[in-house]
Amino acid sequence: MRLLFNVKNRENVEIKLIKNKRLIDKTNLTVGQDFDTVLIRALDKILHKNIIEKLSLKSVQISGEMTVGALSSMILKTTAEALTI
């Protein structure tokens, strides 16, 4: 199972849960104030809805163009690193 954060633009991030190249679930987030809280809640909702444990995630990836130094990109990178540990 893979988790993909797809940065569409500076304001939108799409989260996809993929198993064997098949889309299982996805959600769209708007980047703004309290993005960290919105991101954690969306991840929790996707993983809980599909009965996925953190250990069953094979990889966590970020795609798209992120602004270097932007708080949202740092939050995404940190979250991806935390999920791969």
- Report mean pLDDT in 10-residue bins for the chain, 85 residues: 92 93 94 92 91 80 88 92 85
pTM: 0.87
What is the C-alpha radius of gyration for the chain, rounded to an integer number of angstroms?
12
Residue 15's contacts (CB-CB under 8 Å, 6 or more residues apart) are 3, 4, 5, 6, 26, 27, 28, 29, 42, 43, 46
pLDDT of residue 70: 86
pLDDT of residue 68: 79
pLDDT of residue 75: 93
**CATH number of the domain located at residue range(s) 2-84 in this protein:** 3.30.420.40
pLDDT of residue 50: 86
DSSP state of 67: -
What sign has the CA pseudo-torsion 60, 63, 67, 71?
negative
